[in-house]
Amino acid sequence: MNIIKNFYVFEGGDGSGTTTQISLLAKRIKNIDFYPTFEPTDGQIGRIIRSALKKEIVIKPQTLALLFAADRNEHLYGADGILAQVDKGCLVISDRYALSSLVYQGIECGDELPGLLNSGFPAPELTFFLDIEPETAISRMKDRSSLEIYEYLDFQKKVREKYLSLIKGYKARVEIIDASKSASEVEDQVWNILRQMPIFNI
Ligand code: TYD
């Protein structure tokens, strides 16, 4: 399996706190060029995906699977994308990557299509899976004014199960983090692992 050095990913169900953790890390990481990023991206394809997630447009689950993969291809290989950033010596941390497609689109379309679309993408050096009971995650979202297509309990239960089962067979390194704790406790768990990685020890 092809692995991109100095590329890390946060994965988890909705409401697991991936975005919060990356912004906390941004404050902690010093003396290293840090490039936080996310999927779906804010590029043209990512914007179509977000419209679908917000229910502004209706598209087939298979089309969405194709769009996520297209967005990822640009995110990875496009100008100023993930590979360009690591080549410049940056530490790149992405809020979601291919595992999200294997999980979410796997639930929606079956494993074959997302498997096919994502099998060629190189893996991150390390993935943090923020593990949380779906009930707790959903209760964290209760103040949001509107919910996206995947943000309901039954789907999030399947999401957690699928992450846990895929992680068992995943060939690249994944650390499971207890994300039911406070944001700063989760940050400490993440940091204790991250700071041991080669980029912090040169
Ligand atoms: P999320 O990280 O929750 O973004 P935001 O916090 O801005 O809402 O991601 C949006 C949703 O997209 C989330 O429900 C997971 C889903 N998703 C997929 O279904 N497949 C993918 O490949 C990716 C990257 C995300």
Q: Is the C-beta atom of 39 inside 6 A of ligand 1?
A: yes
**pLDDT on residue 202:** 66
Nearest to 166 by CA among 122, 202, 114: 114
The secondary structure of 153-199 as a DSSP string is: HHHHHHHHHHHHHHHHH-SS-EEEEETTS-HHHHHHHHHHHHTTSGG
Burial class of 112 by CB neighbour count within 10 A (0 to 12, 13 to 18, 19+): exposed
- Cα radius of gyration rounded to whole Å, the chain: 16
**pLDDT on residue 51:** 98
What SS3 class is residue 97? coil
**pLDDT on residue 143:** 85
Find the 33 Cα to ligand 1 centroid distance in Å: 25
- Ligand 1: nearest atom to the Cα of 39: 24
Residue 40 has pLDDT above 80, yes or no: yes
Tens-digit pLDDT profile for residues 50-96 = 999 999 999 999 999 999 999 999 999 999 999 999 999 999 999 99
Q: Give the Cα-Cα-Cα angle 117, 123, 128 (nearest 5 degrees).
A: 115
Q: Is the C-beta atom of 68 inside 6 A of ligand 1?
A: yes
Q: Is the C-beta atom of 85 inside 6 A of ligand 1?
A: no
Q: Give the Cα-Cα-Cα angle 47, 40, 53 (nearest 5 degrees).
A: 65
- Ligand 1: nearest atom to the Cα of 96: 24
**pLDDT on residue 136:** 96
Q: CA torsion angle for 26, 31, 32, 35 (degrees, to 10)?
A: 30
Q: Scanning the structure block, which residue is given the tokens 């768990």?
A: 189
- Write the residue with the smallest CA distance to atom 1 of ligand 1: 14
Give the largest Cα separation in the chain, rounded: 48
pLDDT band per the 50, 70, 90 thresholds, residue 171: confident
CA distance 6 to 200: 10
Q: Are 191 and 28 in contact (CB under 8 A)?
A: yes
How do beta strands 91-95 and 174-178 pair?
unpaired
Q: Is the C-beta atom of 147 inside 6 A of ligand 1?
A: no
pLDDT band per the 50, 70, 90 thresholds, residue 144: confident
- Ligand 1: nearest atom to the Cα of 104: 19
- pTM of the entire structure? 0.97
- Write the residue with the smallest CA distance to atom 20 of ligand 1: 101
- Ligand 1: nearest atom to the Cα of 50: 10
